[in-house]
């Protein structure tokens, strides 16, 4: 990829919603197309050997539909550069290889997406990367887990999946940097509309764009947004060298989702607040876990670093695992399924579904836990559905 190939995000200083709609792309100079075309091409005609137009030579290295998405991602997270991948895990794998070497160590969350843990534990460990878990809501525990000279990354999710713990990004960035490590924040649950970790001192943001960023459960993708040029160069090299990039159709769909991120997130938050309130007073529900509730231990930190509290709600059932499984199976408007962040509401049992891969580890989740991805349907219908499923 040549130096000419640039991400357009000249919209610094304008509101989030404006960036979501305009960043990454100027209407096409030839046709005036206001939406980035799907460049279904693997290669590009050169104007003589090495004479590239706009820096494009081969679509693993760069493709204009993907460039537009990457520019939008960088603008939304207020980063130096954005990178799109074929899945969230592909983004994570590329980042680990770009920033770590065999023998290094990473601090990981003691509550994390099961697939992220599996990547660290079953793929990165055999490659030579060590890891140890720490609670993201305990700054001292994270500090104590850092091994000076060896720890290269402090990796957090906030809110975590599925226990919705909140990590104080600013404090954890300081702790990571004091220990000579970089702070990586998986911002999938919050989305860049609710939280921008790079502005709070994080070095890299990770997304499964499959979730809120894409927002319509119709595409799998991942992203990295980085704070500085040095990290950008390493990720640029590895993105091309490892090749886990999205095709132009997937890049187009993900970028289309971004344009409505702000309005979708506000409705997700409205509905989640209603659902959390309803569950709080239900006798079959033992504990409701939602960062917007004052009873949540991370509420104050969440209030400081998030615009609102998100669309994810977890709860524990008074009558144990069997009751949790029953609720998942009885729900009708909430679809029983993995994933999250789409316009439709989803319900799942993390212990047997998304987090089955952490069973028997420090990251094991409670068996009576149910996780909801609250969608943007009518809130009364969502509450009526949970009511019938719980009764």
- Print the binding letters for residues 269-308 with ligand PLP: x by CB under 6 A, - otherwise: ----------------------------------------
Tell which one of 61, 94, 161, 271 touches ligand PLP (CB under 6 A).
Answer: 161
* Residue whose token pair is 């094991």: 364
Residue whose C-alpha is closest to residue 347's, from 270, 245, 279:
279
- Print the binding letters for residues 195-234 with ligand PLP: x by CB under 6 A, - otherwise: -------------x-x---------x-x------------
- Give the range of 76-84, 110-118, 249-257, 324-332 binding ligand PLP by CB under 6 A: 110-118
* Stretch (H or E) spanning 151: strand 151-157
Q: CB–CB of 229/79 below 8 Å? A: no
Helix 261-280 × helix 379-390 angle, to 10°: 40
Tell which one of 158, 188, 239, 345 touches ligand PLP (CB under 6 A).
Answer: 188
Residue 227 a catalytic site member: no
**Shortest approach of ligand PLP to residue 89 CB, angstroms?**
4
Tell me the three state secondary structure of residue 22.
helix
Decide if residue 111 touches ligand PLP (CB under 6 A): no
Residues 6+ apart with CB under 8 A from 35: 25, 256
Q: How many CB atoms lie within 10 A of CB 211?
A: 24
- Regarding beta strands 81-85 and 105-109, do their DSSP bridges make them parallel or antiparallel, or are they unpaired? unpaired
- Give the range of 75-83, 109-117, 263-271, 370-378 binding ligand PLP by CB under 6 A: 109-117
Residues 6+ apart with CB under 8 A from 48: none
| Beta strands across the sheet bearing 130-134 | 81-85, 222-226, 204-208, 182-186, 151-157, 105-109, 130-134
> 163 pairs with which residues across the strands?
none
Residue 152 a catalytic site member: no
**Shortest approach of ligand PLP to residue 27 CB, angstroms?**
30
Phi, psi of 152 (to 5 degrees): -100, -25
Decide if residue 314 touches ligand PLP (CB under 6 A): no
Which among 111, 186, 368, 385 is annotated as catalytic?
186
- Give the range of 63-71, 182-190, 229-237, 382-390 binding ligand PLP by CB under 6 A: 182-190
CA pair distance 235, 231, nearest whole angstrom: 6
Decide if residue 155 touches ligand PLP (CB under 6 A): no
**Shortest approach of ligand PLP to residue 245 CB, angstroms?**
14
As a whole number of Å, the CA-based R_g of the chain is 21
Which among 58, 60, 277, 330 is annotated as catalytic?
60
**Shortest approach of ligand PLP to residue 345 CB, angstroms?**
16
Residue 186 a catalytic site member: yes
**Shortest approach of ligand PLP to residue 161 CB, angstroms?**
4
* Local structure of residue 121 (DSSP, 8 states): I
Instruction: List interacting residues with ligand PLP (CB under 6 A).
Output: 87-89, 113, 115-116, 157, 161, 186, 188-189, 208, 210, 220, 222
> Known catalytic residues?
60, 113, 186, 211
């Amino acid at each position: 990829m040549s130096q000419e190939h640039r991400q357009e995000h000249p919209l610094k200083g304008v509101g989030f919603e404006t960036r979501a709609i305009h960043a990454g792309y100027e209407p096409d100079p030839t046709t005036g197309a206001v939406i980035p075309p799907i460049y279904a091409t693997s290669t590009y005609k050169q104007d003589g050997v090495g004479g590239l137009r706009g820096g494009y030579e081969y679509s693993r290295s760069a493709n204009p539909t993907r460039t537009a998405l990457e520019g939008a991602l960088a603008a939304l997270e207020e980063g130096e550069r954005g990178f799109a991948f074929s899945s969230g895990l592909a983004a994570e794998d590329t980042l680990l290889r770009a920033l770590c070497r065999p023998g290094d160590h990473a601090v990981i969350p003691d509550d994390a997406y099961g697939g992220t843990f599996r990547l660290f534990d079953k793929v990165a460990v055999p490659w030579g990367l060590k890891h140890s878990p720490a609670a993201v809501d305990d700054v001292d525990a994270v500090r104590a887990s850092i091994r000076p000279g060896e720890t290269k990354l402090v990796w957090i999710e906030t809110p975590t999946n599925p226990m919705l713990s909140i990590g104080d990004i600013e404090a954890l960035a300081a702790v990571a940097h004091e220990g000579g490590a970089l702070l990586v924040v998986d911002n999938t649950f919050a989305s860049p509309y609710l939280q921008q970790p790079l502005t709070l001192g994080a070095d890299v943001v990770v997304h499964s764009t499959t979730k809120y960023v894409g927002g319509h459960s119709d595409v799998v993708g991942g992203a990295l947004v980085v704070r500085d040029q040095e990290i950008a160069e390493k990720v640029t090299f590895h993105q091309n060298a490892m090749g886990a990039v999205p095709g132009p159709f997937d890049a187009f769909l993900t970028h289309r989702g971004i344009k409505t991120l702000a309005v979708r997130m506000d409705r997700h938050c409205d509905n989640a607040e209603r659902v959390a309130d309803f569950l709080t007073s239900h006798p079959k529900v033992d504990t409701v876990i939602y960062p917007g509730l004052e009873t949540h231990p991370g509420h104050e930190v969440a209030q400081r670093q998030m615009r609102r509290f998100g669309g994810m709600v977890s709860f524990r059932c008074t009558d144990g695992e069997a009751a949790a499984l029953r609720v998942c199976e009885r729900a009708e408007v909430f679809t029983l399924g993995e994933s999250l962040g789409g316009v439709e509401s989803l319900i799942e049992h993390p212990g047997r579904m998304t987090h089955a891969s952490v069973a028997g580890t420090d990251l094991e989740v409670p068996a009576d836990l149910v996780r909801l991805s609250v969608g943007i349907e009518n809130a009364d219908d969502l509450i009526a559905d949970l009511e019938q499923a719980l009764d």
